[in-house]
Chains A and B, each alone.
Chain A
């Protein structure tokens, strides 16, 4: 926290001017010419400390008898108060500013006729100047009487801010956590009580304060815009934001023990500002953090959630983040991944793994695959892995398994090992003429198919290699096939070789073939392709999700259930399951065999924007508009209990665009509009680190197949490659500075690739670790403006 230095602000705050204010005991003659209601009382080590304490005493005196002050003034309306006003004509406003409760009660007591009387007396005595001043004073007082309602709010918040200032540097940030939520609640209170104009003044006063802007409000800019538009009671009643801020739980604040005691003293024992105490009691929850105060930087990183931080208790449940090593698919993937990085760490894999490319070895491996490997894998049981039966997952079919082993053998044995000296090549696919038309992209796991979802509710599927998109034969033809044939799967597909000859001239085109899928009635917002390239899921503004067959090129099922536009959909890592999320504030789990929803995860008041499956298919992670990441369990909760997220993480300052789990399932990586790449540890929901480097929103992310390289694509027309493996290694070795959680980009960033005018919206590592980037070309500005003008 950096507040302005005492020297610069003290002239503007004459209240803290020691010579004048304290020499006279008469409170009413407190000389001040301040115009701003904001006053930071900065502790000046020598004189001001005394000053403050004595001032506090004074204030206490006044505040201790607020009721009596009121009653007396009511009783003594008339001459007493009039004389009071006329005596101190030049200073009434200033008094009011410093001690509003009292003066406002006075000013309400000045009736119209009294005013006229005095005026007449003054005019008779030819005191023109006094007449004018008196009139002005009266006017200002009279006008201010309506606005007096907001005064306690101003004083309470000012009081709290100055209280924060008095705290030592080491713990000041802990107290300043409360400023933002206090401010919002006060503002909403003011509006709700029909004081729109004062509420606006209140808002402007604090938001335009540069000190607060840089510190307290920096993490909440997005919400401040929203708050500013809430100007009437009706709007507040309708607002989703208010719902999620006020009625979705308490604002969670983590403090160390010492700070909490001090705060308790201030709010409960002293009760200087009953308003503050009321708000804190109604909407806040303070949690004691063990040990000393946290680092200010750490706290800054973790702030940004709409409702403060995450309850520590919420992240204590056990999460099985390990991989399903007993499942064939994981075994294939893991085996090959280990194989590629076999130098050093995993020597136990046997001798044969070191020279994988020879055909002899390959055969041996294939044989080993399900015999030897299995026994070795089962020997060391990962305590963090869920049981294979925890969530029922279909086994691989025999032919599928063989296919996978064959293809993966080929690709993984030739996989590039990315190191700082051996950086990946990047092949870039630029989509032209699609700006403002293309909504989303999806590429198949084997990098051969690209699906493009458009605004005009159509989906295009392109073949990225030179192979033609295959189509399955008609049922009548399929019946005639010999099912015991070894090549049954090839025979099921139509052979269009004859057509190929006529289309020879198309050969020059890089895209050999494309398909159009029509069916949705609104823009497509999300696409997901199943691993074996048989199915494509799409979700749209028309509230539905459709499952398409990529063999017959037709829609198989329409999943209905969401009641608002569906924003994202994703297949589980083993297929079979998929999850979707929507603006109806739910995420749903589905299974391709049923048209009904299996699970509904509701998020109170916030839209769920993106989601991501855990590699063991037991969890899904979602990000919602309150900027909190949540991980949900697929396992059904006990009867009657609401689904609660198993992990919650707050720290993003703006909306999150993309989530990814690391290949080993332990870490969750998130990035979005706030340019931060945050890496979270799933075992306890804590932040590992935050990578900074991009200068605009981050749209896409992928991990290399061996899980050691992270790649991010951004709207600043760049792709950055990070050494994720090194980062995790450093973290495990304890080399990562845990206090200073911001990691400078240079430390783990390997390289930046720049594009001309394309922001990468999809990034993908092929099985051989070639990097593929996809993006829609953004035409230069003048042409877009021209287009909008015409």
Chain B
């Protein structure tokens, strides 16, 4: 609140206003004190209006009010809040008469026609239910209450056992899930859009997550007959959309969601086109870790452990598609993970890949490995001259030439 100007600035102003006549130091100090105090008083007066109008931001009009209250000439044209672009007043002085005027710009008609020109908005009123029978409905107009209110804690606990959703929400849930797994591409996209944007989903979120996790479980079971990978892909897309929704709190349901995603990522053999499914699952996995991993829940550490166990085992416990899943799961996480965990594994991996008889499989894996490793490598060693010897040392004879080739391409 207290304003204090420096003597230098007052000196500058004084000289400017009095045509470069200098003031002595004493009077400057006195002036500074006076001006600081006057401004402070004016601000206090301006705050009277601020308080009266129940605002937080002081406007220039408030200051003008304070000037008027003290019988001083207000400053014209300093209005920052007017909806019209800031009006600047100009002063004309002639024969001791002062006149203020606004510059009246000529506005081109073309400019007005262009839809980008902003039209000042009028006051409008919007109505919504802030609370119904003591509870705040979860709609867009209401804030999401993360911290449970003290007085409603008891009720919430009771609700946990029998979480009842309304008829409308049941229909909403049914429609949404049906849309998500229907073959119609357009409908599905629409549904995914809803999942990624609507914050009123919180109510049925637990159901949706359960839908995904159950869906994955059923479709991964060896007994199911039809083409499972498409359904699984749709389910992963749902998960992906939910993760993109900024307004939802998925943390409480991660114990359902994450296992489902990891199953899709690491399953032995799913179907012919399983690569894209694994890619998508890896992306979801990455997002979960980015959003919810903390030092306390050790989420990242635990996930990495799972992947690392699969990759580091030398024997044939795991199939190559599973290894592929673990690999991209790791690679999607971050460059740091690639450098620290994946790099030491590459050499061994290269030796094993050479033993694969399936050409298609080995090609796919090699391609992916090279892609991720090159980018990560580039981010650390940014020098143009790649050390060939070091490359062979790090990545073995299988990958080193491929990576080197790609590095050159990246340049």
Contact = CB atoms under 8 A, between A and B. Distances in A.
A439 interface: yes
Interface stretch (B106-114, B124-132, B223-231): B124-132
A230 B54 contact: no
A187 interface: no
Contacts of A773: 130
B52 to A, nearest CB: 6
Interface stretch (B144-152, B162-170, B251-259, B347-355): B144-152
A601 interface: no
B136 A433 contact: no
B37 interface: yes
Contact of A790 (B41, B55, B85, B133): B85
A229 B133 CA distance: 51
A758 B1 CA distance: 25
Contacts of B128: 427-428, 430
A671 B152 CA distance: 25
B53 A440 contact: yes
B34 interface: yes
Interface in A418-457: 422-440, 450, 452, 454-455
Given A436-B59, A784-B57, A751 B52 contact: no
A432 B141 CA distance: 13
B121 A422 contact: no
B37 A439 contact: no
A756 B136 CA distance: 12
A533 B43 CA distance: 38
B123 A431 contact: yes
Nearest to A761: B54
A706 interface: no
A226 B130 CA distance: 40
Interface in A631-689: 655, 657, 673
B149 A756 contact: no
Contact of A460 (B1, B3, B123, B132): B123
Contacts of A230: 37
B2 interface: yes
A70 interface: no
A567 B130 contact: no
B27 interface: no
Residue among A423, A436, A462 with most chain B CB within 10 A? A436
Contact of B54 (A607, A699, A749): A699
Given A235-B37, A429-B125, A755 B151 contact: no
B136 to A, nearest CB: 6
A161 B125 CA distance: 57
Contacts of B121: 432-433
Interface string A748-790: 0111111110010100000000010100001000001001101
Interface string B56-100: 110101000100010000000000110101100000000000000
B8 to A, nearest CB: 19
Contact of A228 (B2, B33, B150): B2
Contacts of B145: 754
B123 A438 contact: yes
Nearest to B34: A232
B104 interface: no
Contacts of A455: 53, 61
A122 interface: no
Contacts of B115: none
B321 to A, nearest CB: 47
A232 B69 CA distance: 21
A79 interface: no
Residue among A229, A235, A425 with most chain B CB within 10 A? A229
A224 to B, nearest CB: 9
Given A225-B1, A433-B124, A427 B129 contact: yes
A556 to B, nearest CB: 25
A423 B123 contact: no
B152 A751 contact: yes
A564 interface: yes
B219 interface: no
Contacts of A755: 130, 142-143
A621 interface: no
B123 A750 contact: no
A439 B55 CA distance: 9
B287 interface: no
A755 B123 CA distance: 19
B46 to A, nearest CB: 12
Given A231-B33, A462-B125, A719-B130, A746 B142 contact: no
B127 A229 contact: no
B41 A657 contact: no
Contacts of B54: 657, 697, 699, 715, 759, 761
Given A431-B125, A511-B125, A754-B143, A229 B37 contact: yes
B130 A423 contact: no
B37 A231 contact: yes
Given A229-B36, A235-B37, A787 B123 contact: no
Contacts of A702: none
Nearest to B60: A788
B51 A657 contact: yes
A100 to B, nearest CB: 27
A753 B131 contact: yes
A541 interface: yes
Contacts of B222: none
Contacts of A228: 2
B33 A196 contact: yes
B26 interface: no
A750 B150 CA distance: 9
B125 to A, nearest CB: 5
A790 B86 contact: yes
Contacts of A750: 134, 151
B55 A436 contact: yes
A751 B151 contact: yes
A432 B126 contact: yes
B134 A751 contact: yes
A510 interface: yes
B125 A510 contact: yes
Contacts of B126: 429-430, 432, 510
B149 A583 contact: no
Contacts of A752: 149, 151
A229 B37 CA distance: 5
Contacts of A754: 136, 142-143, 145
B122 interface: yes
A430 B69 contact: no
Contacts of B143: 717, 754-756
Contact of A426 (B2, B40, B59, B129): B129
Contacts of A226: 44
Contacts of A434: 123
Contacts of B378: none
Nearest to B2: A228
B156 interface: no
Contacts of A717: 143
B122 A427 contact: no
Contact of B56 (A234, A511, A749, A778): A778
Given A428-B128, A455-B61, A433 B123 contact: yes
B269 interface: no
A751 to B, nearest CB: 6
A525 interface: yes
Contacts of B122: 433
A415 to B, nearest CB: 15
A603 interface: no
Interface in B1-49: 1-3, 30, 33-34, 36-37, 40-41, 44, 48-49
The 7 closest A-B pairs by CB, nearest first: A423-B134, A229-B40, A428-B130, A426-B130, A433-B121, A426-B131, A225-B1
Given A230-B37, A432-B125, A756-B142, 6 more contacts: A229-B44, A432-B121, A510-B125, A525-B49, A746-B150, A787-B80
14 contacts: A229-B37, A232-B34, A425-B129, A429-B126, A430-B128, A432-B121, A432-B123, A433-B123, A438-B123, A450-B125, A525-B49, A699-B54, A715-B56, A753-B131
